[in-house]
Structure 1
Amino acid sequence: MRFLQSSIRYKLIALMLISTLIPIAASITVTYFYTKESVKAQTVLENSRLITEGKTNLINYLERLNKASLIPYGNKTMETILSEGVTGYEDESYVFTTLQLVFQSANDVYQVYLYINKNQTSFLKTQSFFDRQQTDSPPVNERKLSPYAVWTAPTHLSSHYGVQQLAYSNPELVFTLQRPLFRVPSPEQIGFLAIDIKLDALSKLSSQLYNKDKEDFYIIDKSGSIIFASDDAVIGQIRQDAWIKQVLSKNDVSGNMEWNEIDFSGMIFYSNVALPSLNWTIVKRIPNSQLYEDTRNLTIINTALGIFALTIAIAAVLTVSIRLTHPIKKLIRSMNQIQAGHLEYPIDIDRVDEIGTLALRFRTMMSTINDLILREYRLNLANKTTQLKMLQAQINPHFMNNALQLIGATALESGSPKVYALVSSLGQMMHYSMNTEEAIVPLSREIEYVNYYLLFQQQRFEEKLQIETEIDVSTANIPIPKMIVQPLVENFFKHGFHSTAGIGRLRIVAWIEEETLYIRVEDNGIGVPEAKMTALKRQLTLLKTTQTGQGEKIGLINVMSRLLIYYGDRANMELEGQTSHGLIVTLVIPLNPQEESS
């Protein structure tokens, strides 16, 4: 996982994928469980309603069968036949009519059987057949019932009840309503009635209660016998399955339960049908595969949509991360090249976002660094040049210093203090100019050096030279490059002053204004011709623009070159010709040279 710790791209991809995947997965999970519970609740409600409706319809049908079994009690003639037996064709016809009424009183009756104890005669009525058979007793195992009670036999194969003419017919699954007939109001049994009902009746009643292909439906009696089922193979069987025992053990009339076993996993709905003739339980089983089919389908759809959204998110993440990190990697490559020493290596990133701002700042920083390096190089070159010139001018400085001291001492012994002052000034000048350890000095020391120089000139020209200095005390400790004022003063004596032209005036002024130091040297010399002034200004402008062309002479060009090296293009040298004669040179030095223009 180290690549995740070292790469913003992979971190961004991982973060965005996690921030996308987790909400999608959470949404699918929450939707699944919420839908599952919702479907479960809806299924319970819907199937409870269906089971209740089915129960009602079944009870109504069974009640009709029960009423049909009471038809033989419906008139005196039939009661007489049951009591006295069949005495002729007319009685037999009446029995046929009675059984026909029973047969037609309910749908899906398969056959009706009547046994009259008096004649020991069995009568059997089917859809297309009616016959009688003399028998010793009813060919059916009667249950021991209380008088006037009725019982419903579980599903079984139909029989012909001893009527041999129907022995050839194929048996069919039926359930039977059995009613012993009594001499009213005594408990004496005088006959027996059995009504066989086809399972089609139950199939029709339950057809709307379940999905035959996906759900299981059962009608079970108290003993576990399957009266009817959606699976024909189990009809008529007595089952002891665990879920059947669990359902039959319930005390409530209706309800539902969850079942999770190897044989079945899902919901089981049940409702008890308790009548005098039977005790059945309607059961409907819905497997989880069917119960949560819609939930699974919805989850599959949501998952597909989530995968689609995740695919789009991945594509978007990759696109964004690549577009975001590509310029960063490009910037890193540029930094590596710069670190390797290629300071001019281009940084080609043109964007308007934060990365573009970073690249722009880095370009600006490298430009500033290159400028500083170039400036430092030029400064060192200028210092080396100045030091070389100074060294070339030295002829055994220690010897010269000792010689000057000797001359000064001799002058004092000879009573010539003026000579001593001149020699002492010369020594100070030589010490100042030959000290190569200092490139920056306070303005006060530079002015002091100029005063030593002017002392010689004053001694030379005496009353023909007037010198004036106005140095603001606040400027005394301001550091400036060494030897930038004396060359300006020296120019006056080299090019502008002639002893035959009258009194020469030289004025040196220094002051501070708006965070800028101004040093002005002005004279009343012969001035500079206009053409030469124009050329000189052009040369200074070119020097400031390109910072090249440093002259070899220690003069205006040299001074300007060193100012630009130290202070950049905020430093300046201004030249002014006076109205009739003379020259004004002003040095402009910023007091905060490290601050860059924004």
Structure 2
Amino acid sequence: MSSVRTQMMLFFSLLIIVPIIISSINVYFTLQNYLKNNYIVQQNQSIENLLSQITEWRGSYEDLSLQIFGDKRVQNFLLHPNTVQTGEQLERSTDFRQALQTYATAGNGNFSIYVVRLNGKVYGAGLHADHEQFIQSRISMAEKYGGLPVWENADTLNSIVLYRQINNNEFDLKLPVGYLFLVIDKSEAEKIIERYSVNSNQQYGIFNQDHTLRISTDLVADNAFLHEAGKQPGVTSQEMIYQDMSYITFAKRQSDWTFVSWILKREILEPARELFLGILFIALLLLLFSVFMVMFLSHRITKPLNLMRRKMKQIGEGLFIIKVPVIRNDEIGELANAMNRMSDEIVSLIQKNREEEAKSRLLQLQTLEYQINPHFLYNTLDSVNMLARKHKDPIIADIVTYLSRLFRIGLNQGREMITLADEVRHVTYYLKIQEIRFAGQLYWEIQIDDSLEDIKIIKFILQPLVENSINHGIRKRDEPGHIYIRVGKEENCILLEVKDDGVGIKSEQMEKIRQSLAIEQEHEEKDHGFGLRNVHQRIQLHYGPHYGLQLASEEGQGTTIYIRLPYSNEQTSS
């Protein structure tokens, strides 16, 4: 049974925490959508601007390569092999170098110009061995594309290289005369990309259809990732799952170049998560505050209630002359006044009952007779019942009613045999009395096979076992207990079962009880034994040694008592 304080704490905690959690979830998902949509708009604008800048940057170098391609000084130098040093040849070489120097200084970028003859001879300022090695390895690729420009990132040079075949632009545009290589510092493209980064975690990539060019701000991303992100160019945005990670990606295509941008979805939604955690933290603080306030308020409410509960327990134990101090002018105060009036009425009834008993003795009844006249007992209990109802005390009225019915069945006009239905009713009234006595601490359930209700058995076998379960099992618990009574058939026997979920019996004590059931002499045991032995021996005396009680118990789990009685149709009452 949960206390009033616990119920109040649970109620107010739920009252505070549930709306906050629902609001937090709503804010969380609303903010997620807002952040995602806002980011998509910004990023689309950013990638459009980046696309324009990169396209302009690319175009400037391709225009430069065309200028060098068509320059007469470059064409004359390549058309005349430098086999014999003549004045004319020296002049062409001088004009060629001046042309390269002019183009190298005219641009704003950081790049190097190299021109290659058909025989593989490389010309250019500041030629390094690694540059020459890369150039020699790409001549065949330049021939493959004819005079078209080819872009390629040279990771070994930390550069981007634009190269193309130089054809004779004066007589035959299909006739190659040499090759042009522009080695561009890779940081130029990276700086352009950095200017358009919306988020520090945003990554960019550029690649061409021939897979010769790859520029990426993410060194970890591989080619497969870039091409997966750029699979649908022109789409506003798309959500991509790659290696169990969720990304928001953007892709645009310009000519044969594809521009992609991506970011982890969780990075976009991080502010929403932080806000959600912040709201939950506030909810936790409010919950702690509400628990404190509920404990404070519940103490003011439950303190007088606990006092009355203890007084009620004393009344249940037979101490009727008690007074509950009335210190509050509210519902609890009214309840205390009602309890004090009930106590006074009980004392008055007890006093009247004692006076009636004294009068009975004075009227020369059989004071030495130990058996009570049933009619006098029923009439007396009915009188107490009427007085209780007259004074509007339903609890005492119910107790007296149940007690009267209990005695009526128990006495049974002196007969030893009663029906199973009456035996069950007898223990039911007993349980109802105990239920009132141990309010909120005892729960019980009875099941009986309807076909057995008219079977006659010896009386008074269930009540002692139930009493034993209450006194030695349920009352020793710190929480409410349950008793289950079942009556049914098992082969040729009637099986009565009394089960509780009390403290159980220790194995050593269980062995002692089982031994005591086999002893015929009657001697009182301090724990469990007397009531059990009484029922067990009465059953064996009446039905024989094959019937009686069987016990099963587990410490801390409860105890079950089985009663087996013989079954035959002759036992049915007429």
Structure 1 residues 353 and 41, CA, compared in 2 at 3 Å: closer, same or farther? farther
Residue 9 of structure 1 is matched in structure 2 by 5
- CA-atom RMSD in angstroms: 4.2
Post-superposition Cα deviations, 1:82-134, rounded to whole Å, max 9, x if no partner, equal 556783444333322322343245444331112356x98642134x99xxx9x
Residue 302 of structure 1 is matched in structure 2 by 279
Counterpart of 2:140 in 1: which secondary structure?
A: coil
Residue 542 of structure 1 is matched in structure 2 by none
Question: How far apart are 1:61 and its partner, in Å?
Answer: 0.6
Match of 1:174 among 160, 173, 185: 160
Match of 1:258 among 239, 244, 263: 239
Counterpart of 2:44 in 1: which secondary structure?
A: helix
Within 5 Å, which residues of 2 pair with 1:535-546?
none
Q: Select the structure of larger CA radius of gyration.
A: 1
Q: Distance in 1 between matches of 2:146 and 2:241?
A: 45
Residue 188 of structure 2 is matched in structure 1 by 201
1:248–1:281 Cα contact (<8 Å) kept: yes
Within 5 Å, which residues of 2 pair with 1:320-469?
320-338=297-315, 342-363=319-340, 369=345
Residue 94 of structure 1 is matched in structure 2 by 95
Question: How far apart are 1:318 and its partner, in Å?
Answer: 2.4
Residue 227 of structure 1 is matched in structure 2 by 214
Question: How far apart are 1:365 and its partner, in Å?
Answer: 6.5
State the AA in 1 paired with 2:283: G
Q: Distance in 1 between matches of 2:266 and 2:47?
A: 21
Match of 1:247 among 220, 229, 241: 229
Moved more, 309-318 or 40-49: 40-49
State the AA in 1 paired with 2:115: L
Residue 152 of structure 1 is matched in structure 2 by 151
Counterpart of 1:327 in 2: which secondary structure?
A: helix
Q: Distance in 1 between matches of 2:164 and 2:331?
A: 95
Residue 247 of structure 2 is matched in structure 1 by 267
Q: Distance in 1 between matches of 2:138 and 2:269?
A: 51
Is the aligned partner of 1:56 residue 2:52?
A: yes
1:349–1:359 Cα contact (<8 Å) kept: yes
Is the aligned partner of 1:109 residue 2:90?
A: no
2:248–2:265 Cα contact (<8 Å) kept: no
State the AA in 1 paired with 2:241: N
State the AA in 2 paired with 1:111: S
2:46–2:198 Cα contact (<8 Å) kept: no
Could you tell me which runs of 5 or more consecutive residues in structure 2 were left unpaired when the two chains were aligned: 83-87, 364-574
Q: What is the number of equivalent residue pairs in this alignment? A: 349
Is the aligned partner of 1:46 residue 2:23?
A: no
1:112–1:196 Cα contact (<8 Å) kept: yes
Question: How far apart are 1:347 and its partner, in Å?
Answer: 1.8
1:152–1:175 Cα contact (<8 Å) kept: yes
Q: Distance in 2 between matches of 1:319 and 1:226?
A: 72
State the AA in 1 paired with 2:325: D
Q: Distance in 2 between matches of 1:249 and 1:363?
A: 86
Structure 1 residues 349 and 257, CA, compared in 2 at 3 Å: closer, same or farther? farther
State the AA in 2 paired with 1:257: Q
Q: Distance in 2 between matches of 1:226 and 1:345?
A: 98
1:153–1:175 Cα contact (<8 Å) kept: yes
1:122–1:138 Cα contact (<8 Å) kept: no
Within 5 Å, which residues of 2 pair with 1:487-526?
none
Is the aligned partner of 1:27 residue 2:23?
A: yes
Q: Distance in 2 between matches of 1:297 and 1:138?
A: 53
Within 5 Å, which residues of 2 pair with 1:62-77?
62-72=58-68
2:114–2:180 Cα contact (<8 Å) kept: yes
Residue 183 of structure 1 is matched in structure 2 by 169
Residue 124 of structure 1 is matched in structure 2 by 124
Name the TM-score, length of structure 1 as normaliser.
0.49
Question: How far apart are 1:175 and its partner, in Å?
Answer: 2.8
Counterpart of 2:273 in 1: which secondary structure?
A: helix
Query: What percentage of aligned pairs have identical amino acids?
Result: 16
Question: How far apart are 1:286 and its partner, in Å?
Answer: 1.8
1:155–1:227 Cα contact (<8 Å) kept: no
Post-superposition Cα deviations, 1:60-79, rounded to whole Å, max 9, x if no partner, equal 11111112112236665555
Residue 453 of structure 1 is matched in structure 2 by none
Post-superposition Cα deviations, 1:445-494, rounded to whole Å, max 9, x if no partner, equal xxxxxxxxxxxxxxxxxxxxxxxxxxxxxxxxxxxxxxxxxxxxxxxxxx
Counterpart of 1:70 in 2: which secondary structure?
A: helix
Residue 478 of structure 2 is matched in structure 1 by none
Q: Distance in 1 between matches of 2:154 and 2:38?
A: 33
Question: How far apart are 1:195 and its partner, in Å?
Answer: 0.9
Q: Distance in 2 between matches of 1:226 and 1:305?
A: 52
2:32–2:272 Cα contact (<8 Å) kept: yes
Question: How far apart are 1:17 and its partner, in Å?
Answer: 2.4
Post-superposition Cα deviations, 1:225-278, rounded to whole Å, max 9, x if no partner, equal 5622234477xxxx553x44433432x33543323343x512242333433xxx
Counterpart of 1:125 in 2: which secondary structure?
A: coil
Structure 1 residues 75 and 106, CA, compared in 2 at 3 Å: closer, same or farther? closer
State the AA in 1 paired with 2:94: S
Residue 414 of structure 1 is matched in structure 2 by none
Question: How far apart are 1:59 and its partner, in Å?
Answer: 0.8
State the AA in 1 paired with 2:45: R
Question: How far apart are 1:344 and its partner, in Å?
Answer: 4.8
Question: How far apart are 1:204 and its partner, in Å?
Answer: 0.8
Q: Distance in 1 between matches of 2:295 and 2:137?
A: 89
Q: Distance in 1 between matches of 2:125 and 2:33?
A: 53
Q: Distance in 1 between matches of 2:30 and 2:219?
A: 37
Q: Distance in 2 between matches of 1:198 and 1:233?
A: 21
Post-superposition Cα deviations, 1:7-30, rounded to whole Å, max 9, x if no partner, equal 333322222223333223323333
Within 5 Å, which residues of 2 pair with 1:124-143?
124-126=124-126, 140-143=139-142
Residue 434 of structure 1 is matched in structure 2 by none
State the AA in 2 paired with 1:94: D
1:174–1:196 Cα contact (<8 Å) kept: yes
State the AA in 2 paired with 1:192: Y
Q: Distance in 1 between matches of 2:287 and 2:212?
A: 55
Counterpart of 1:16 in 2: which secondary structure?
A: helix
State the AA in 2 paired with 1:91: R
Structure 1 residues 247 and 370, CA, compared in 2 at 3 Å: closer, same or farther? closer
1:113–1:122 Cα contact (<8 Å) kept: yes
1:28–1:303 Cα contact (<8 Å) kept: yes
Within 5 Å, which residues of 2 pair with 1:550-569?
none
Question: How far apart are 1:150 and its partner, in Å?
Answer: 2.1
Question: How far apart are 1:372 and its partner, in Å?
Answer: 7.5
Residue 283 of structure 1 is matched in structure 2 by 260
1:61–1:106 Cα contact (<8 Å) kept: no
Post-superposition Cα deviations, 1:186-236, rounded to whole Å, max 9, x if no partner, equal 4243443221112111221122344997454332333455622234477xx
Q: Distance in 2 between matches of 1:111 and 1:197?
A: 7
Q: Distance in 2 between matches of 1:139 and 1:208?
A: 32
Q: Distance in 2 between matches of 1:322 and 1:85?
A: 108
State the AA in 1 paired with 2:14: I
Structure 1 residues 212 and 106, CA, compared in 2 at 3 Å: closer, same or farther? farther
Counterpart of 2:125 in 1: which secondary structure?
A: strand
Q: Distance in 2 between matches of 1:225 and 1:147?
A: 16
Question: How far apart are 1:298 and its partner, in Å?
Answer: 1.9
Structure 1 residues 57 and 339, CA, compared in 2 at 3 Å: closer, same or farther? same
Q: Distance in 1 between matches of 2:286 and 2:201?
A: 34
Q: Distance in 2 between matches of 1:287 and 1:259?
A: 10
